[in-house]
A and B are shown apart, each in its own frame.
Chain A
Amino acid sequence: MPTKTFIEAIREGIREEMQRDDSVIVLGEDVGKKGGVFLATDGLFEEFGEERVIDTPLSESQIVGTSIGAAVNGLRPVAEIQFADFIFPAFNQLLSEAARMRYRSNNTFGVPMTVRAPYGGGVHGALYHSQSVEAFFTHIPGLKVVIPSTPYDAKGLLRSAIRNDDPVLFFEHKKMYRSVRGEVPAGEYTVPLARAQVTRPGTQLTVVAYGLMAHYALEAADHAGEDGLSVEVVDLRTLRPLDKETVLESVRKTGKCLIVYEDNRFGGYGAEIAAIIAEEAFDYLDGPVTRIAGPDVPGVPYNHVLEDWFMVNPEKILDGIRQLAAY
């Protein structure tokens, strides 16, 4: 099977959906001739023309708001927000409009729109080019939130997102764009939304993670394995709607759960996972549900020493695994 980088898989997913369905358009800042600042849309302008690959003005609310309107009138926009850190000017359009359109119209209007955005730290991006923003959006009923970790999943999930009849936020860890490679089959396949995956089976402890952290969790689990600890890793892939069953099934088996996320710890997405496990798997637990997450400072600092201090890494996760295992 051919291997591809994370970003190649994403680009291929968009391109093949555009070939398959004329109603798919791409819009965002620099997505045209330049092909996006990370080159996620490279070549699409040449292949599909300026009518379907639209360089927008620097106006995020407009990118999302016009995508909502275009979606209502028969298109399937794939909007790019250049960095997840800059999605907030569009927050009102996502929260008050995209997420609520179907509910508030009693199912008479829907918004089949995908909003892609690179997120995450570890790339010398500092406070405003490193942020994990998923918790703001997973809180909102009416939005689907996807964070893939492998090229295979990225392509398959992106195709599902584009074909989905509701708004999907698709966050891509920018550190993975070129550093992560994986097998991507030729030809059409999709990966269903709202399905987590056990990426490493184990019996003594569950680690729940997503995005870059799903890789770091696997690394940490391998090291723990060398110590004779059997760790299961669950890669959530879709954060909302959450595949609760896969998580609960794993925790009921292992009796211990560590949740890993890169975002600030307090009120982060992992807090919801912890609450669900406490409510629905309490009787199976042999230890507290614990978290390894980013520190509670307002952003990732720039200097590499500070950035390393901020970032969750395999060593910190391994530490968390050992502590929980010893409980």
Chain B
Amino acid sequence: MAVGHRTESGTSTRRAHAGGLGAAVGLTDEQLIEMYRMVALARAVDERMWVLNRAGRIPFVISGQGHEGAQVAITWALKKDHDWVAPFYRSIATAMTFGMSARDILTAQYATANDPSSGGRQMPGHYGHAEHNLLSVSSPVATQILHAVGIALAAKIRKTGQVAMTFMGEGSSNQGDVHEGLNFAAIHKLPFVLVIENNGYAISVPVSKELALPDVADRASGYGIPGVVVDGADVLGCYQASKEAVARARAGDGPTLIEAKVTRLTGHSSDDQQTKYRPAEELEAERTRDPLPKFREQLAAAGVLDDELIARIDAENKAVVDDATDYAEKEPDPDPANALMHVFAEGVEGEF
């Protein structure tokens, strides 16, 4: 897969990569450790979801495994509780980086009454949190791009200094809303970033049957905006690309399309058997593109992490996930007596 080239308004081409640790991208060792902790925590939460599914505790899982490095790093460049994110169903690590807790994610799996995403109304994977400017997401893919663009429009008109970022898969990038959204955002130079997490598949359909080009980012030039390709297993490279895109957006220079080449380590969802359409060798080879061990080794080689710290973070993450599971397991279901509520701001439709 072509990684590291960038097209800018159809002209210049240059490389976007980490080029060294912390200092090169403006992060301290402490921040790198926190970033690693988040990638590992998102993975631990995700793995727990599968365990609970296979144990019959929760009916459905849609996973972000393999995407976490890109999600954490790209989201990291935003200002929490100020900027906006319109996520998609794999955005567990994005949602957590942007402020959702492991408890918030687990309550969504159990669809509890206090699940902050939807109060148990939506399937798991539809994360949202109003207090963190993480927009509620639906199931039809790619619709959220227009919401993020509209959020960016409001940010520009209201002069709030906010940036809006949205995420989706490469398959979803073929929807008409993506064209309409990029066109509008580019015309108005809106503070907006589109992130494509390209994992090579839309359920079972390989990228060769989804796109006539290898890179979604090449489409950016058609809108007169930069398109950047990054290796999703290169966490710091993702961060650097996002930092630049966010700075550009905040400076009023308009949107950027970032395409992170990631790997989908699981089936599409708990209802999918990917061995049916992906050869065993491919699945084996894809394991080497897992961002978690890559980032761990990179940080260990640079002396930022050592075995003791890695073990401590693992143990702490496990405690967080255990706590979240116990918590969500005990939370009550929503009450059908409230199921008519919140169709409108006034409450139940018949009563006004």
Interface residues of A (CB under 8 A from B): 23, 25, 51-52, 56-57, 59, 61-62, 64-75, 77, 89, 92-93, 96-97, 100-110, 141-142, 144, 164-166, 194, 241
B187 at interface by CB-CB < 8 Å: yes
Pairwise interchain contact B342-A61, C-beta atoms closer than 8 A: no
Not counting A62-B149, A141-B343, a sample of 11 additional A-B residue pairs whose C-beta atoms are within 8 angstroms of each other reads A52-B157, A57-B184, A65-B150, A65-B177, A69-B150, A70-B157, A93-B143, A101-B136, A105-B118, A105-B130, A165-B344
Alpha-carbon distance A166/B129, docked complex (angstroms):
19
B119 at interface by CB-CB < 8 Å: yes
Q: Closest chain A residue to B137 by CB distance? A: A104
Alpha-carbon distance A100/B342, docked complex (angstroms):
10
B176 at interface by CB-CB < 8 Å: yes
Known contacts A92-B143, A241-B349: A105-B128 contact under CB 8 Å: yes
Instruction: Return the CB mask of B318-352 against A: 1 if under 8 Å, else 0.
Output: 00000000000000000000000111110001101
Q: Closest chain B residue to A141 by CB distance? A: B343
Pairwise interchain contact A61-B130, C-beta atoms closer than 8 A: no
Known contacts A65-B146, A69-B152: A110-B135 contact under CB 8 Å: no
Residues from chain A with a CB closer than 8 A to the CB of B118 are 104-106
Residues from chain B with a CB closer than 8 A to the CB of A144 are 344
Pairwise interchain contact A108-B116, C-beta atoms closer than 8 A: yes
Shortest beta-carbon distance from A239 to chain B in Å: 13
Q: How many A-B residue pairs have CB under 8 A?
A: 151
Alpha-carbon distance A297/B160, docked complex (angstroms):
50
Pairwise interchain contact B121-A62, C-beta atoms closer than 8 A: no
| List of 8 A-B pairs having minimum Cβ-Cβ separation, nearest first | A69-B150, A65-B146, A106-B119, A66-B150, A73-B154, A62-B180, A69-B147, A105-B136
B72 at interface by CB-CB < 8 Å: no
Shortest beta-carbon distance from A66 to chain B in Å: 4
Q: Closest chain B residue to A102 by CB distance? A: B342
B158 at interface by CB-CB < 8 Å: yes
Question: How many B residues touch the partner, as a band?
Answer: 35 or more
Indicate which residue in A23, A61, A71, A194 contacts B177 across the interface (CB closer than 8 Å): A61
Residues from chain A with a CB closer than 8 A to the CB of B262 are none
Indicate which residue in B157, B164, B181, B343 contacts A62 across the interface (CB closer than 8 Å): B181
Alpha-carbon distance A165/B86, docked complex (angstroms):
21
B103 at interface by CB-CB < 8 Å: no
Q: Closest chain A residue to B181 by CB distance? A: A62
Shortest beta-carbon distance from B147 to chain A in Å: 4
B155 at interface by CB-CB < 8 Å: yes
Residues from chain B with a CB closer than 8 A to the CB of A194 are 352
Alpha-carbon distance A165/B145, docked complex (angstroms):
22
Shortest beta-carbon distance from B8 to chain A in Å: 22
Cβ contacts A to B, 16 pairs, < 8 Å: A59-B180, A62-B146, A62-B181, A65-B143, A65-B150, A69-B154, A69-B164, A70-B151, A72-B151, A92-B143, A101-B136, A104-B138, A142-B344, A164-B345, A165-B344, A241-B352
Shortest beta-carbon distance from B136 to chain A in Å: 4
Indicate which residue in B157, B158, B176, B342 contacts A107 across the interface (CB closer than 8 Å): B342
Shortest beta-carbon distance from B110 to chain A in Å: 15
Residues from chain A with a CB closer than 8 A to the CB of B160 are 73-74
Instruction: Return the CB mask of B162-193 against A: 1 if under 8 Å, else 0.
Output: 10100000000000110011011001000000
Pairwise interchain contact A57-B187, C-beta atoms closer than 8 A: yes
Pairwise interchain contact A93-B151, C-beta atoms closer than 8 A: no
Pairwise interchain contact A103-B151, C-beta atoms closer than 8 A: no
Q: Closest chain A residue to B155 by CB distance? A: A73
Residues from chain B with a CB closer than 8 A to the CB of A59 are 180, 183-184
B317 at interface by CB-CB < 8 Å: no
Interface residues of B (CB under 8 A from A): 84, 86, 115-119, 121-122, 126, 128-130, 135-136, 138-140, 143, 145-155, 157-158, 160, 162, 164, 176-177, 180-181, 183-184, 187, 341-345, 349-350, 352
Alpha-carbon distance A140/B183, docked complex (angstroms):
29
Alpha-carbon distance A92/B128, docked complex (angstroms):
20
Pairwise interchain contact B158-A69, C-beta atoms closer than 8 A: no
Pairwise interchain contact B143-A96, C-beta atoms closer than 8 A: yes
Q: Closest chain A residue to B179 by CB distance? A: A59
Pairwise interchain contact A110-B143, C-beta atoms closer than 8 A: no
Pairwise interchain contact A74-B158, C-beta atoms closer than 8 A: yes
Pairwise interchain contact A75-B154, C-beta atoms closer than 8 A: yes
Known contacts A68-B146, A68-B150, A141-B343: A62-B128 contact under CB 8 Å: no
Shortest beta-carbon distance from B108 to chain A in Å: 11
Shortest beta-carbon distance from B122 to chain A in Å: 5
Pairwise interchain contact A92-B154, C-beta atoms closer than 8 A: no
Residues from chain A with a CB closer than 8 A to the CB of B349 are 141, 241
Alpha-carbon distance A71/B84, docked complex (angstroms):
13
Pairwise interchain contact A71-B352, C-beta atoms closer than 8 A: no
Indicate which residue in B136, B150, B181, B342 contacts A70 across the interface (CB closer than 8 Å): B150
Known contacts A61-B176, A102-B344, A104-B121: A69-B153 contact under CB 8 Å: yes
Residues from chain B with a CB closer than 8 A to the CB of A62 are 146, 149, 177, 180-181, 183-184
Q: Closest chain A residue to B166 by CB distance? A: A69
Indicate which residue in B126, B149, B157, B176 contacts A25 across the interface (CB closer than 8 Å): B157
Shortest beta-carbon distance from A113 to chain B in Å: 9
Q: Closest chain A residue to B86 by CB distance? A: A69
Indicate which residue in B121, B181, B345 contacts A106 across the interface (CB closer than 8 Å): B121
Shortest beta-carbon distance from A229 to chain B in Å: 33
Alpha-carbon distance A320/B138, docked complex (angstroms):
45
Indicate which residue in A56, A101, A107, A142 contacts B341 across the interface (CB closer than 8 Å): A107
Pairwise interchain contact A165-B345, C-beta atoms closer than 8 A: yes
Known contacts A102-B345, A104-B122, A106-B118: A72-B143 contact under CB 8 Å: no
Residues from chain A with a CB closer than 8 A to the CB of B116 are 108
Q: Which of B86, B139, B148, B177 has the most CB of A within 10 A?
A: B177
Pairwise interchain contact A100-B138, C-beta atoms closer than 8 A: yes
Residues from chain A with a CB closer than 8 A to the CB of B180 are 57, 59, 61-62, 65
Alpha-carbon distance A23/B157, docked complex (angstroms):
9
Pairwise interchain contact A75-B157, C-beta atoms closer than 8 A: yes
Shortest beta-carbon distance from A303 to chain B in Å: 34
